């Protein structure tokens, strides 16, 4: 019996699966496909529950690596583990790999051949492992990496991406059956760092804005929510838009109503609207508290970073001048403003610890979530900093 009723988008999944697996002149899918959408808008659920089955139905072997599931594990290890797990399911793959590593006889079960041999800097690199999987299965391989931007926060994660690039180039040759790498991420700017410059592993890969849940989802939600009084889909869709297209806020509001044994059925729609708006405001209020607790230099750094976006260069002279300008606009006496590199460095570390700023392994910084930029802009804190 299913533990949860899920909303499915089969038409979108089939369309994306076709584009991902397409072999055609001018198709960029072989370079990689990047799907960007804000956190908590249903992206990961769609990837696991809709896109993965659609790719498998289209004839692909799908490997799935969630880099956000266990943040204590290095992203590079998570990617390698996804390859090991798939290969470990089939004796044929293990046999081919064992022979590739120089073994004449194979004992399956880890006695003679261990999956630990697979990885970066191991006996069997990722290209060899994925080639064996391709040749043995005679199927296209699709590696889905959820929250892929997290890979470039560590050296091992970056190395894994370049190892996948090498594997992609080999498997997409005429000798094999193809490898597609599908990366999803919750921040477009961060995800773009994997494919915007020539020194990145997936330079030139397609960036696709992931469609938010729409009116069809709200209709489905209102049909299945099973509250004492029906909800009007038109009104709920307005609430859904206001709350950033986050389905969990609708679900949480519905749950609170279910356990409110004193609520009269006729008051359900009004109470539902109150609860959704209250939760959305609470999320933003908590974030605002963190922002308003920042020191003057920390506030200046996050504001300038938000204003500059992809053009943010933390220690360049014009940026240092903008920090001073931001502090002055916040009411700091110009005579007391001292902006120096060590102070900016400490501010960046503090902002990372507060989960407001994200850092790639090569020293590139970005605001952690777009909602932070929206809140700062809405409060007029980015004016004059562009």
Res. 198: pLDDT tops 90: no
Can you give the pLDDT at residue 32? Answer: 86
CATH number of the domain at 294-378, please? 1.10.10
pLDDT for the residue 110 = 42
Binned at pLDDT 50, 70 and 90, residue 277 comes out as very high
Tell me how far CA of residue 110 lies from CA of 106, 157, 158, in angstroms.
10, 26, 29
**pLDDT at residue 106 is higher than 60:** no
Does this model's pTM top 0.75? My answer is: yes
- Both tokens of residue 288? 């605002």
Q: How confident is the model at residue 1 (pLDDT cuts 50, 70, 90)?
A: very low
Q: Token pair 């998570």 is at which residue?
A: 78
- The better pLDDT of the pair 103, 306 is held by 306
CA dihedral of residues 331, 335, 336, 342 (deg, nearest 10): 110
pLDDT at 111: 39
Average pLDDT score over residue span 284-310 = 93
User: Looking at residue 62, what DSSP letter applies?
Assistant: E
- The SS3 of residue 118 is strand
- Output b/e per residue, 160-178; b: 16+ Cβ within 10 A: bbebbbebbebbbeeebbb
Going by pLDDT thresholds of 50, 70 and 90, the confidence category of residue 27 is low
Q: What is the pLDDT of residues 216-233, one digit of tens each?
A: 999 999 999 999 999 999
Reported as a single tens digit per residue, the pLDDT across 163-192 is 999 999 999 988 889 999 999 988 888 888
Tokens of 379: 């409060």
pLDDT tens digits, residue range 37-73? Answer: 888 899 999 999 999 999 999 999 999 999 988 988 9
Please state the domain extents for the chain.
Answer: 10-209, 215-290, 294-378
Joined together, the tokens standing for residue 253 give 């509001």
- Looking at per-residue confidence, does 369 or 182 come out higher? 182
Confidence tier at 148 by pLDDT (50, 70, 90): very high
Q: Per DSSP, what are the bridge partners of residue 61? A: 141
Give the other-Cβ count within 10 Å of 39's Cβ. 17
The CATH superfamily of 10-209 is: P-loop containing nucleotide triphosphate hydrolases (3.40.50.300)
Q: What is the pLDDT of residue 118?
A: 78
Query: Which single residue is written with the structure tokens 């992203």?
Result: 75
Which pLDDT band holds residue 125 (cuts at 50, 70, 90)? confident
Mean pLDDT of 306-317: 92
Report, as an integer, the average pLDDT of 248-258.
Answer: 95
Report whether pLDDT(102) > 70.
no
Q: Where does the pLDDT of residue 109 fall: very low under 50, low under 70, confident under 90, or very high at 90 and above?
A: very low
Q: Average per-residue pLDDT in the chain?
A: 88
203, 67, 153, 356: CA torsion to nearest 10: 110
């Amino acid at each position: 019996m299913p533990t949860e009723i899920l909303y499915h988008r089969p038409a979108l999944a089939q369309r994306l699966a076709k584009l991902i697996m397409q072999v055609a002149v001018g198709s960029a899918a072989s370079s990689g496909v990047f799907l960007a959408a804000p956190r908590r808008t249903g992206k990961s659920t769609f990837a696991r529950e809709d896109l993965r089955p659609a790719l498998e139905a289209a004839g692909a072997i799908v490997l799935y690596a969630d880099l956000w599931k266990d943040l204590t594990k290095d992203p590079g290890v998570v990617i390698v583990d996804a390859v090991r797990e798939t290969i470990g399911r089939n004796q044929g793959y293990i046999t081919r790999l064992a022979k590739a590593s120089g073994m004449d006889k194979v004992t399956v079960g880890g006695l003679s051949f261990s999956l630990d041999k697979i990885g970066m800097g191991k006996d069997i690199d990722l290209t060899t492992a994925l080639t064996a999987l391709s040749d043995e299965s005679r199927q296209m391989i699709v590696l889905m990496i959820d929250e892929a931007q997290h890979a470039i926060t560590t050296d091992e994660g970056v190395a894994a991406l370049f190892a996948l690039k090498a594997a992609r180039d080999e498997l997409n040759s005429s000798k094999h059956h193809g490898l597609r790498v599908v990366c999803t991420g919750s921040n477009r700017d961060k995800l773009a760092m994997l494919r915007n410059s020539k020194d990145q592993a997936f330079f030139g890969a397609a960036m696709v804005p992931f469609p938010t849940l729409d009116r069809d989802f709200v209709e489905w939600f209102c049909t299945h929510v099973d509250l004492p009084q029906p909800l009007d889909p038109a009104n709920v869709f307005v609430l859904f838009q206001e709350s950033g297209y986050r389905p969990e806020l609708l679900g949480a509001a519905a749950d609170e109503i279910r356990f409110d044994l004193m609520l009269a059925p006729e008051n359900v729609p009004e109470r539902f609207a109150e609860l959704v708006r209250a939760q959305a405001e609470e999320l933003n209020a908590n974030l605002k508290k963190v922002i308003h607790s920042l020191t003057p230099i920390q506030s200046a750094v996050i504001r300038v970073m938000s204003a500059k976006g992809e053009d943010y260069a933390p220690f360049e002279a014009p940026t240092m001048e903008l920090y001073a300008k931001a502090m002055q606009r916040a009411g700091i006496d110009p005579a007391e403003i001292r902006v120096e590199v060590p102070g900016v460095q400490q501010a960046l570390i503090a902002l990372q610890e507060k989960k407001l700023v994200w850092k790639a392994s090569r020293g590139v910084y970005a605001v952690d979530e777009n909602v932070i930029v929206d809140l700062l802009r809405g409060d007029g804190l980015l004016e004059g900093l562009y």
